[in-house]
Structure 1
């Protein structure tokens, strides 16, 4: 008898961007539901690998944006970032990707659920539906008066990264730079502080993954919620600007927060390269370091599927059992693996989503 895979609730994927770039039409919707259209994530492969759900990111792309991942090679790099995105462009793509998620739910006939509470997530997982949470990576759709924030929250938005790596009206992200500390410039703007306080009031998780170090500490001083980075790794192992320093980990632990392991190989490998020929051992090395810094209740998974080059061993969601097996072989017990795979996310979401 085949044992069912341990369910994984994941902190970050970019499948909505992939579907948007593929036209965002009914054919794109069906490609997710029936499989066979490439990428890292679709419904059949999610079921095969025990991918039970996660935060489904909306990332508003810049016009004519280069594939920067191809440039993350060599002894070092410092990639130019796109200019700030216009509000109208951010709103157009953000609303289109939100629509894709809602249409996925309708077309799936119960196989996909948009979840607005932890009770919704647990109920979806219990009945075998894919539990999706609306998340934004880069708040370019939100105006300075935060009117759109209320609208998106009412629609189901429960997690937001104020910035991607390019600057916007809320703050400054980290560039794609190796080697580099995350201390790369100015942090939040005055509107960024307003956004943090508004997210606290509404019970929206604030994702710190792309925010630079100054912005991180400004959120830490302003927010009354657990500090969370949905898809980041350990700077002491891979000194890329996107990873977190030990001091940042200490603050996250003190707040009762969580960090999701990012599978992007440039944020795993000590050489900072985007290279699929990367072993699962380096993922375990980061998990060990995260457990040492955060404890067993602070470590989760944040794959960045469909948004990065990932190790061949976990080349799509159907292969997630290989990561679980690597944890088992390394000596992680079943209870710890279940915490990392899903329970730590559900716990921190439960503590964050109550308005404050």
Structure 2
């Protein structure tokens, strides 16, 4: 990496993962349009913060929450931890929450037509960015809402769904996830079920991104053997630098590179820090180390951001979407060129979508 001679510029960030729709869904006090539009509360992404930080859009996750959510900010503070995962979620619960979050995204687009656009392709994302709109690509994190006959997938795809993580960390009918365990290995049991392999084939047919971030290692290799699309982890980090079960081994990184896939750097402190702790007093240098490692193993076209905004403890030096320029400036200081910053900031995700959708 060499320092560019170009003058520093604002780098738009199209991000690989956020849980903003879940945050808006779970808060019941005010209409989500008001919370998102006015920037009320402590959320990581809203319209004012996005504008302040150059947040140009990203993969907006619809995550069907457990009936009782584990408190990761509390349960991941010890030197070693293994957070108990909730049981499988009934499909009726998953469908109700997924439709609720989809409705919120549709309402945001309707309430802010000059500021928000649901996008279905890289071309639509580029057009939204050119119009200074937040480009939202709909993503599912845990496919519990999708029946094995894919009737719900038909509906969600028509609404704009273009990315699916078959599992969140709990098991479902499609496969098995990785626990919130430190230190830990992602090699924690069986991989995809027959239904999971059928889901992968259906995603390939439709050009839907398959996200591996919460899938266990055997599931990762099952996708690698089954899928014809690039391998993608929208919000994962380096296991060699942080031994969280959620992070990727060197062997997995090599497979992602071979497939011309992409990894989005997760900003969650517990997946960055060598001690695995979810603490906000996490230095940005740790993020640089993970990015350097990913660049070494994936190349400049294989690395992006996958912040996990609104779903994790983020380093205080960033704080929220308004703090993205501080990370960009830190990368400039580490010698990242302007062309490389644009690749990591947004170009690599758009190129990945073009390779996936054909």
TM-score band, normalised by the shorter chain? over 0.9
Alignment of 1:193-342 (within 5 A): 193-342=197-346
8 A Cα contact 2:266 2:306, kept in partner: yes
- What 5-or-longer segments of structure 1 have no aligned partner? none
**CA drift at 1:27:** 2.1
CA deviations on 1:123-158 (whole Å, 9 max, x unpaired) are: 110010100010000001001111111111111000
Corresponding residue to 1:68 among 66, 72, 81: 72
**CA drift at 1:295:** 0.3
Find the aligned partners of 2:30 and 2:99 in 1 and give their Cα distance: 16
Find the aligned partners of 1:90 and 1:178 in 2 and give their Cα distance: 28
- Matching residue of 1:152: 156
Find the aligned partners of 1:216 and 1:96 in 2 and give their Cα distance: 29
- Matching residue of 2:92: 88
- Matching residue of 2:3: none
**CA drift at 1:61:** 0.4
**CA drift at 1:109:** 2.6
Find the aligned partners of 1:173 and 1:157 in 2 and give their Cα distance: 21
Find the aligned partners of 1:149 and 1:283 in 2 and give their Cα distance: 35
Find the aligned partners of 2:273 and 2:302 in 1 and give their Cα distance: 22
Find the aligned partners of 2:60 and 2:54 in 1 and give their Cα distance: 16
- Matching residue of 1:19: 24
Alignment of 1:69-218 (within 5 A): 69-218=73-222
Alpha-carbon RMSD across the aligned residues, in angstroms, is 1.2
**CA drift at 1:75:** 1.8
**CA drift at 1:3:** 7.4
8 A Cα contact 1:137 1:160, kept in partner: yes
**Closer, same or farther: CA 166–71 of 1 in aligned 2, 3 Å:** same
8 A Cα contact 2:14 2:345, kept in partner: yes
8 A Cα contact 2:70 2:83, kept in partner: no
What is the TM-score with the length of structure 2 in the denominator? 0.97
Find the aligned partners of 2:202 and 2:265 in 1 and give their Cα distance: 27
**CA drift at 1:26:** 6.3
- Matching residue of 2:351: 347
**CA drift at 1:21:** 0.5
8 A Cα contact 1:158 1:353, kept in partner: no
Find the aligned partners of 1:230 and 1:134 in 2 and give their Cα distance: 13
**Closer, same or farther: CA 295–270 of 1 in aligned 2, 3 Å:** same
**CA drift at 1:33:** 1.3
CA deviations on 1:73-127 (whole Å, 9 max, x unpaired) are: 2221111100000000000000000000000000013210000111110011001
Find the aligned partners of 2:220 and 2:231 in 1 and give their Cα distance: 9
Classify the secondary structure of the residue corresponding to 1:312: coil
Classify the secondary structure of the residue corresponding to 2:31: helix
**CA drift at 1:65:** 1.8
8 A Cα contact 2:8 2:338, kept in partner: no
Find the aligned partners of 1:151 and 1:275 in 2 and give their Cα distance: 39
- What 5-or-longer segments of structure 2 have no aligned partner? 1-6
**CA drift at 1:71:** 0.7
Residue 39 in structure 1 maps to residue 39 in structure 2: no
